[in-house]
Chains A and B, each alone.
Chain A
Amino acid sequence: MRAAFERRRHLLDFAVRSLARRPTKNLGLVAVYALVVFLVGSVMLYGAAIRREAAAMLASGPELTAQAMVMGRHEMSRTADVAALKGLRGVRRIEPRLWGYLWDSAGAANYTLMVPPASDTAHTLAKGEAIVGEGVARARKLAPGKMLFLVSPSGKFLKTRVKAILSPDSALVSSDLVLVEEGDFRAFFELAPDVWTDIAVTVTNPREVTTVAEKAALKLPGHRFVTRADMSRTAEALFSWREGLTLALIAGALLAFAILAFDKASGLSAEEKREIGILKAIGWESRDVIAAKLFEGGLISGLAFLLGVIGAWTHVFFFSAGLFEPVLKGWATLYPRFPLAPTLDALEMATLAMLTVLPYMAAILVPVWRTASADPDAVMR
């Protein structure tokens, strides 16, 4: 047992010495390798963190959203539609929603104007009052008590006083919100008193959502019913799609690295071949040679992997993935600032290792094994 350990330890000593003989080359390789792990790791950590965040927040949204459709386009729902849903079995609450978008040409930003539902006592507003999201407050430099003026595309003017600013905790879902009173909203957008943007339905038993949606669809055939599961699936698909897209962009770098690793490993240099030949000639066994070379590869991979993961973690959870921000923002001015909860997922790390470490180790093994099992005399020649 002890002899086996000492044997491995000496092989490891040999591998370190062997790496130290070519410091520039090997350090360069570790740097490039770590950079690849950093890029892929950042994308994976960020994608997973944002998916978890969105899922946790949207889990308490309405189970069902009914949206009127006319000619394949969104239409306003009527008070009569809301009444039609009343009395449906399994429905706990029906809340018609009023919300819409306002393009602010001065700030080049898109706001979501919304009326807090009647049941929401935490955000009651009087006429001329507004509650704004964190992004809006940041973009327009607002504070409670300050005035916020809104001009509609048709020229209607709405003067409001900022009552409060929504907590930055919820920035991911509320960054672009401007909450106003119902009368103000209807006057601003020139809406009839009996129209609503859509209808949010809360279902008593979450397992009955599909049944309730089917029954509701019979009552309102012109409406489209979006369940919360649809919504989380859309969010999930959106983030997975974006993560996949970013990974595809990085694929070029991954490929370049794979070529580098393959080239380095498969075409063993004459010097390395000679070294293996000498080792064999002085009595090393093939498996010792292979073990020493694998130790070398393992040291490089392990070092690069640790450095890359530490870098990616710092980038995502301490700097909010600052390098990706321009890509994520697009043309949006009101990009939310939100903290990401750090979580280390063993499966993610294993996937990252599979993507980066495994190909490198595989690229090393084959040529070393071929050279080590050949006749030392032929190898050295």
Chain B
Amino acid sequence: MTAVSPFRRRRGSTATAIVFGGLLVIGAALGTASSIGDDTTHRRERAAALVAELALSDVALFTEARYTRNPSLADLHTPFQDGPASLEHFPTASLTVAPRALPAGRLEAGEE
């Protein structure tokens, strides 16, 4: 009589339960591991305190051009600062959007 591996005889549903259960446990373990020693609340409080102290305005993610460093304080002309027809050339500009809430003037045409 040949020895049969215990895995061979396992029913498909049991194997499924083991695999999925195992993956869920791994997922839960990773989730817990990433939150152990996680100091989010304090870290954010410290950062928020610095923002309040220095009166900071924008996120320092894209530092390469002034309108990507402080998008909320930039104006629509900055990307074309070198001339009205010059093309914007910073890569992150394709990742940022134009600021909203700019002071708006008006242009109207008509007869005198």
Residues of A within 8 A of B (CB): 9, 12-17, 20, 53-54, 56-62, 65, 67, 69, 72-74, 95, 97, 101, 109-112, 114, 116-117, 120, 122-123, 133, 135, 166-167, 169-177, 179, 198, 200, 224, 226-227, 230-231, 233-235, 237-238, 241-242, 245, 299, 302-303, 306-307, 309-310, 313-314, 317-318, 327-328, 330-336, 339, 341-342, 344
Contact = CB atoms under 8 A, between A and B. Distances in A.
A237 B101 contact: no
A322 to B, nearest CB: 15
Contact of A109 (B47, B63, B75, B99): B63
Given A62-B55, A307-B23, A167 B63 contact: no
Contacts of A175: 60, 63
A293 B12 CA distance: 14
Interface of B: 11-13, 15-16, 19-20, 23-24, 26-27, 30-31, 34-35, 38, 40, 43-44, 46-66, 68-69, 71-78, 90-92, 94-97, 99-103
Contact of A169 (B46, B59, B62, B76): B46
B97 A303 contact: no
A61 B57 contact: yes
B55 A61 contact: yes
A342 B54 contact: no
Contacts of B90: 330-331
B47 A120 contact: no
A65 B75 contact: no
28 contacts: A15-B12, A16-B12, A16-B15, A54-B59, A61-B51, A62-B57, A65-B73, A97-B55, A167-B46, A167-B47, A170-B51, A173-B47, A173-B50, A173-B59, A173-B60, A176-B69, A198-B73, A224-B103, A226-B57, A234-B99, A237-B97, A303-B23, A318-B34, A328-B95, A332-B61, A332-B62, A341-B43, A342-B38
Nearest to A100: B66
A133 B102 CA distance: 30
Nearest to A53: B44
B30 A310 contact: yes
B39 to A, nearest CB: 8
Given A61-B56, A169-B46, 13 more contacts: A58-B57, A62-B55, A74-B73, A110-B64, A116-B54, A167-B47, A172-B60, A174-B54, A179-B54, A227-B101, A230-B101, A334-B60, A341-B40
A151 to B, nearest CB: 19
Given A175-B63, A234-B71, A341-B38, A200 B55 contact: yes
A270 B73 CA distance: 63
Contacts, number: 223
Given A73-B75, A335-B61, A342-B34, A12 B47 contact: no
A234 B100 contact: yes
A154 to B, nearest CB: 18
B95 to A, nearest CB: 5
Nearest to B42: A169
A261 B87 CA distance: 42
B75 A69 contact: yes
Nearest to A230: B101
Question: Taking each of B12, B52, B62, B95, which has the highest tally of chain A beta carbons within 10 Å of its own beta carbon?
Answer: B12
Nearest to A231: B72
A330 B63 CA distance: 9
Given A120-B53, A173-B60, A176-B69, A306 B20 contact: yes
Contacts of A335: 61, 63
Contact of B95 (A15, A16, A241): A241
A226 B101 contact: yes
Nearest to A235: B59
A56 B13 contact: no
Contact of A334 (B11, B63, B76, B92): B63
Given A61-B56, A109-B63, A302 B100 contact: no
A290 B73 CA distance: 59
A332 B60 CA distance: 10
A167 B12 CA distance: 53
Contacts of B73: 65, 67, 74, 198, 226
A58 B97 contact: no
A235 B31 CA distance: 27
Contacts of B48: 56-57, 59-60
Contacts of B64: 110, 330-333
Contacts of B53: 116-117, 120, 122-123
Contacts of B71: 234-235, 238
